[in-house]
Amino acid sequence: MKHCYPQPVPACRLVKARPETINFLLSYSRSLHVSRHKDLVFTNHKN
Amino acid sequence: MEVQIDDSILVRDYIQGDEKALELLLKKHNQRILSFIYSKVRDRDIAEDIFQDTFIKVIRTLKKGSYSEEGKFLPWVMRIAHNLIIDHFRRNKKMPKYQGNKEFDIFSILSDGELNAERRLIKEQIEADITVLVDQLPEDQKEVLTMRIYKDMSFKEIADITGVSINTALGRMRYALINIRKMVEQNNIVLTN
């Protein structure tokens, strides 16, 4: 069974998202607007 | 001292229009999710792109009201990230590869330094045989085995993504290996180089 397992890999490198990515996601979220009409869902982006 | 607010509360607040809640969710989980993605793709820029796409999906789903809160926000986000990682590797598989021609073959000057042509053929045959055997496994066993062996994921990650306990994931792995051994014996397949 040991043959089925890969060689040990180095510990996982911890990385954090870049501030630009976080800012983009926050801006994206603020601009996204969802509206509903009966069973229909509309999404649009406010400038 | 920083107070950790429960994910379900942050998600609820965000759905109700509190944009600050998203900022807190990103701050809380970004390192864990991005590190998970990076551990699979091993490229900082690609990992960042997949992270961004993951959260775009999260934002859209939450705003549309399609998310059902069951206290599993992080596993849900990890599952989205996992699917996008698979999409990334599928796309890359379709990329054209260098084949060489009659005048010049890059492999005449490059060597892996390990296997000669015969051993390479045997290795390829073994890998092809194993692929066929893995394909014969029940879907749940195949999924766990693929994640563990080919994607190098831990059983904790597998359990989170497949939505089962670690023991179930371990059990599925065990049965997958038992079943592969049975198939090897039944078909007299030789898996040594």
Query: What confidence tens digit (pLDDT) does each residue in B84-124 have?
Result: 999 998 888 766 556 666 666 666 666 556 667 777 788 88
Most confident of B42-46, B50-54, B161-165: B50-54
Report the residue from A13, A15, A28 with minimal CB separation from B59: A28
Task: State the span(s) of chain B assigned CATH 1.10.10.10.
Answer: 114-187
Report the residue from B47, B51, B63 with minimal CB separation from A32: B63
Task: State the span(s) of chain B assigned CATH 1.10.1740.10.
Answer: 7-92
CA distance linking residue B132 with residue B148, whole number of Å = 17
Taking contacts as CB-CB distances below 8 angstroms, the residues of chain B near A9 are: 152
What ipTM did this prediction achieve?
A: 0.74
Burial B93-104 (b: 16+ CB within 10 A, else e): eeeeeeeeeeee
* 3-class SS of residue A30: helix
Answer whether CATH 1.10.10.10 is correct for domain B114-187: yes
Residue B112 exposed, middle or buried by CB count within 10 Å (0-12, 13-18, 19+):
exposed
Least Cα separation, residue A25 to chain B (angstroms): 7
pLDDT score at A13: 72
Query: What's the pLDDT tens digit per position in B14-32?
Result: 999 999 999 999 999 999 9
Taking contacts as CB-CB distances below 8 angstroms, the residues of chain A near B23 are: 22, 26
Q: Which fold has domain B7-92?
A: Rna Polymerase Sigma Factor; Chain: A (1.10.1740)
Report the residue from A12, A21, A43 with minimal CB separation from B39: A12
Please say if the pLDDT value at position A2 is more than 60: no
Distances (CA, A) of B44 to A15, B15, B35, B47, B134: 8, 30, 10, 5, 31
Query: What's the pLDDT tens digit per position in A17-45?
Result: 999 999 999 999 999 988 888 778 788 88
Least Cα separation, residue A1 to chain B (angstroms): 8
pLDDT score at B126: 83
CA distance linking residue A47 with residue A28, whole number of Å = 10
Work out the percent of chain B whose per-residue pLDDT is above 70.
86
